[in-house]
Structure formats: structure tokens, C-alpha cells
Amino acid sequence: MSFIKNLTEGTNFNHKSLNALQKVTLRAVVTSFLFYGLVALEGMIMRMVEVGRVSGNPIPEQFFHPDHFFSIMTVHPIVGIFGSTYQLVFGAFLFLVPYLTKKPLYSVKLANWTWLLITFGTALAWIAAFIWRYAPLYTLYWPLPADTLQFSAIGGVVFIIGVALIMFGTFGFIYNIYATIFARVGVHQDKTMKELLISGFGIDGVLNLINKLRGKPPYTKEPALALPVVAIFRGTVDTFLDAVVILGAGILVLLFLLADLSGTSWDVSAIDALLYKNFFWWGLDLVADGLVLIYVAGSWYLLATLITGQKLFMENVARAALMLELLVSWMVWSHHLLGDQGQPEMMKLISGEMVTAFELLTQGLALFITLVTLWKARPLKMTMELKYLLGGLVGFGLAVPAAIIQADMGMNRVLHNTQWIIGAHVHIALIVGLYMTLYSAVYVLWPIVTNNTKLYSHKLSNIHYWLHLIGGIGMGAFMGMAGLDGMLRRHLYVDGQFNPDMIFAAIFGSMLLIAWFVFLYNIVMSFGIKGLIGIFLPTEDKTSSYGIEDEIESADDPAFAN
């Protein structure tokens, strides 16, 4: 097939053959990867600025200006976490929950709204930073987001509206997921709400373990919900709480900005900065230490069982551990406040250190169960999905202990706010741990969601894999080393004070950017431009499920109203 034909037509992709569920999933996935490219580009710009004004650095002078630099730093995580990661995860889960429960999605229309709201919300937040240079960073430390001496109030209002739209989209996702899980249709026709709740919270796993210890028969041999659905159920609790907190903080900032625009200046000291910090970090940490870890554990379990075709090792323990992970995620936020001297010492010790250390246990358990499940099924073919899964395990194997190290009152005194945190922990967790797990899911779901579309090139997939893995670990490692040398994470360095660390970080970072181009090229050549456009066109097949023989109407079905 010629290059031009591939570029326009793809391999054998036919967007008209997709049903409504497949299309909405692909819309979210494609948008997610476009946002990922933007994030990679932003990351590279910031990395090049930190390389400094040295000869050979091609970065234009305007990026060295603090208002420009920090406006990029503000939207970088918004686009990365919400525009890219949330979209990808939500898109995948809105497909997986109906697929695994063998029920239709509650509402495809709502799923489309979720995709649209998150996309436009992210774009709006980005525009606020691009046009008005609104740059309080994602941390929004009070009273900086309401500081109209440094930032335009209009820019702030646009930014907050953008973030609010993302949160409304998130609420749409949450409603859709729970409405689908609790729908008493199909295989769950005879299940009660209580049975589904017990299974959703993993209580059946705990009861099975207790009965085993007491020598009694299991509470249930066939839990109502599959383990990955349980993880989605559990993680979505944190997604909800986190959205409530972010929206709450947004409303507070919005009120102050609107007051300013109306000519009334409100006293920002009326809000206790430390209390606000606790409230905001409690919610924000439900992303990093809550839903991400729970969703990832669930994804590992799903991928391990799909790749091996076997039952998960220690499934009851895994179910019970997900419950523990949820509880742990509510009590660890103080590790972000170890450097705040006004924070009570007991909270630092218990929440910041001791409960946080539990994450080593819960994530270590997920790693163990996944590895043993894979090991018991050997020999396995080293497929792309297996490769990416192993990459994801490496990522969290590196990033979680890095987090436990820094969540310590001694270490935090010299690591807090340094590049160690954002490099060795955050970027390795996200780029290597999370994204490689998500890529594994993309390769597993590819034939199902695209109706067996042939991938353009496996060689390009391999190139993408190695560039992403080496680039991700390398960039995180050199950022981490710069952090140990004293480089701060939310600081502007324009003279290359932390070279050669930053030069190496930029080299590895550019590998990530190239990896994204390779992946994008592979996808475009597989779908073709016509196919990619077709994904965003209205679908003829309104089916909102996959793989169910007797189709059930979604949303309008009376069973959903129960």
C-alpha cells in the first residue's frame, strides 16, 4: 500500500463499522494523545529554559520571561492530568465497565458530554494561561490564585471556569460508571443493590478470607463484580471526592476574583492559608495517592488476566487490598505538608509518615499479585501489551519507594519542592508507571475497540516503547539528580546552574517527544486521516455495549430507572 493511501485510508480501519460505545471511547483516546503531545512539548520548552541561556540552546528568549515560563508550568499538569490522563482513563473505563459487566453503558450521550466538557475545559484553562498569563500553578496556594496584583482577574475567571468544566465532565463520568454498575439488567438482573455494593467495596473478598480462616465455605464463589470493575468502583469514589474539593477551591477563588472585578476588594487573609492548604491537598492527593494507585492496580489485574488467560493469583486478597488502599488514600495528604511548620507534628507523623508508608504495602501487594499471575502462566509471548505492562511495573517499582523516601520528616527537609519530587517520583510514576500501563491497555483493547484494525507497524510500536521507556526513566533520573544537587521544582533558572543534569534531562525528554511522534504516526497510518475524522462524526450504530448477544437498550430501558 502506498504512503498516501495509508495516510488517507489507513490499513483496514472502517469508522462506519464502529458502534456508539466504540466511537466515544476512541474520541476520548485520540483527544487524550493529542493533549499528551502538547504536554510533552510544554515539558520540553520548560526543560530547555532550565538548560539556560547557553550557546546552542535554540529556545526563543520569550520563554525565559517568568510570566511566560510559569504560565506554561501552570497548564502543564492541567493538560497532562485532566486533558490527557483523565480522558484516556475515562474513555477506557467507559468501555471496560460495560464490556466486563456485559451490560450496556448507562448513557453514551453522557459519555460524549464527559469527553466534550473535559476537552473544552482543558482548552479554556490553557487559553487563560496563554492569553492572560494566569499562573498560580496547579497547587493554587492561597492567596496566590486571588492575587490580582500579579495576575489578571479575567484570566483567573477563565481558568477557573475551565477547571470547573473539567470537574463537571468528571461528575458525568462518575454518574455514568455507577449507573452502569448498579443497573439491574443482563447478568445483574437478579442482583440486589446490596449485593452489588458489597462486591463493589470488596467486602465479599474480605468475607471469603475470613471464612477460609474459619474453615467455612466461601461467602461467594462468583462475586457480583469482576475485580477490575471493583477497582474502577473504588477509584471512582476518590475521583468524586477529589472533584468536589477542586470545584470547592475553584468556587472560592472565583468569588474573590469576581469581587475584584466588581471593584470590591475582599480581604484574602480571611481565609487561613494553612487550613486551605490542608483542604486542597486532601482533595488533590486523592488523585495522586488515591484514584491513580487504585485504577492502576485494577488495570494490572485486568491486563495480567487478559494476557495470561488465567485467573488472578490471590484474588480475594486483591479485592480486600483495594478497600485498604481506598482508606489509606483518605489519610495520607499530610506528606505534602511536612515542610509546613504550622502543621501539627502528630499529623505529620501519623498521616504524613506512617499511613503513607502503607502505600508501599498496598502497591507492593498489587505488584506481587501481578508478577505471580504472569509467572504462573509462563511461557508467555513477549507481546506489546506484556512489554508495556512490565514497563508500567518498573515505573511504579521506582516511583513508589521514591515517594516513601521523601515522605519522611528528615528527608523532606532537603527534598521538598526540589526536582527530586517532580522527577524521580512524579514523572517516573506518570510517564513510565501510569502511561506504560495505559499503553498496555491500549494494545489489549485495540482489536476490540477498532474492530480488528491492523496496526500499521509493529516495528514503530517497538521503537515507541524503547524511546518512551528509556526517555522516561532517563529524564526522571536526571531531574532527580538535579534535585539532590539543590534544584527547586517551581523555580526559574536561566543560567544553566544545574547543567549537565538539565542537558541530559532535556536529551531524554526529547526521546519522549520523539516517541510520541512515532506513536502518533503509527496511529495515523493505521486509521488514516479519513478514519480519524470519521471517529468524530455521528455514528449510525447506536449500540452502547460490546459483545452482548441480546442487545439491551441503555438509559431508556426501564431497568435503569430502578
CA 464 to chain centre: 20
**What single-letter amino acid sits at 444?**
V
- Residue 255 or residue 274: which is nearer to other proteins going by CB? 274
Residue 93: CA count within 13 A, CB half-sphere? 33
- Residue 18 or residue 146: which is nearer to other proteins going by CB? 146
- Residue 411 or residue 529: which is nearer to other proteins going by CB? 411
- Binding-site string for other proteins from residue 12 to residue 31, where x marks contact by CB under 8 A and - marks none: --------------------
Quick count: other Cβ atoms within 10 Å of Cβ 36? 24
- Residue 26 or residue 393: which is nearer to other proteins going by CB? 393
- Residue 14 or residue 497: which is nearer to other proteins going by CB? 497
Phi, psi for residue 134 in degrees, rounded to 5: -75, 120
Binding to other proteins, residues 296-315 (CB under 8 A): 314
- Residue 64 or residue 521: which is nearer to other proteins going by CB? 64
Closest residue by Cα to residue 97 from 302, 369, 290, 292: 302
Q: Which of 126, 388, 498, 546 binds other proteins (CB under 8 A)?
A: 498
Q: Output the DSSP codes for 31-69.
A: HHHHHHHHHHHHHHHHHHHHH-S-TT----GGGGSHHHH
Give a three-class secondary structure readout of 207-239: HHHHHHHCCCCCCCCCCCCCHHHHHHHHHHHHH
Stretch binding other proteins (CB under 8 A), from 19-27, 67-75, 183-191, 284-292? 67-75
Q: Are 46 and 69 in contact (CB under 8 A)?
A: yes
Binding to other proteins, residues 77-96 (CB under 8 A): none
Stretch binding other proteins (CB under 8 A), from 139-147, 189-197, 298-306, 456-464? 139-147
Q: Which of 189, 192, 251, 345 binds other proteins (CB under 8 A)?
A: 345
Q: How far is the CB of 70 from other proteins (least distance, A)?
A: 5
Q: Are 33 and 84 in contact (CB under 8 A)?
A: yes
Residue 520: CA count within 13 A, CB half-sphere? 16
Q: How far is the CB of 267 from other proteins (least distance, A)?
A: 12
Binding to other proteins, residues 346-365 (CB under 8 A): 349, 353-354, 357-358, 360-361, 364-365
Binding to other proteins, residues 445-484 (CB under 8 A): 473, 477, 480-481, 484
Length of the chain as a residue count = 562
**What single-letter amino acid sits at 69?**
F
- Residue 379 or residue 558: which is nearer to other proteins going by CB? 379
Q: Output the DSSP codes for 410-467.
A: HHHHHHTTBHHIIIIIIIIIIIIIIHHHHHHHHHHHHHHHTTSPPPS-HHHHHHHHHH
Quick count: other Cβ atoms within 10 Å of Cβ 251? 11
- Residue 354 or residue 537: which is nearer to other proteins going by CB? 354
**Helix axes of 292-308 and 227-261: crossing angle, nearest 10 degrees:** 150
- Residue 432 or residue 518: which is nearer to other proteins going by CB? 432
310 SS3 class = coil
- Residue 471 or residue 480: which is nearer to other proteins going by CB? 480
Q: Which of 486, 536, 537, 541 binds other proteins (CB under 8 A)?
A: 486
321 SS3 class = helix
Residue 189: CA count within 13 A, CB half-sphere? 7
Q: Which of 13, 36, 69, 90 binds other proteins (CB under 8 A)?
A: 69
Residue 257 Cα distances to 154, 167, 251, angstroms: 8, 19, 10
- Residue 314 or residue 460: which is nearer to other proteins going by CB? 314
Q: Which of 36, 95, 142, 465 binds other proteins (CB under 8 A)?
A: 142
Q: Which of 216, 375, 458, 462 binds other proteins (CB under 8 A)?
A: 375
**What single-letter amino acid sits at 194?**
K
Q: How far is the CB of 488 from other proteins (least distance, A)?
A: 6
Q: Which of 255, 327, 342, 459 binds other proteins (CB under 8 A)?
A: 342
174 SS3 class = helix
Position 492 contacts other proteins (CB under 8 A): yes
Position 262 contacts other proteins (CB under 8 A): no
- Residue 134 or residue 546: which is nearer to other proteins going by CB? 134
Binding to other proteins, residues 270-289 (CB under 8 A): 272-274, 277
271 SS3 class = coil
- Binding-site string for other proteins from residue 146 to residue 175, where x marks contact by CB under 8 A and - marks none: -x-xxx------------------------
184 SS3 class = coil
Binding to other proteins, residues 185-244 (CB under 8 A): none
Q: How many residues bind other proteins (CB under 8 A)?
A: 86
Stretch binding other proteins (CB under 8 A), from 62-70, 443-451, 514-522, 526-534? 62-70
DSSP 116: H
Q: How far is the CB of 500 from other proteins (least distance, A)?
A: 13
Position 507 contacts other proteins (CB under 8 A): no
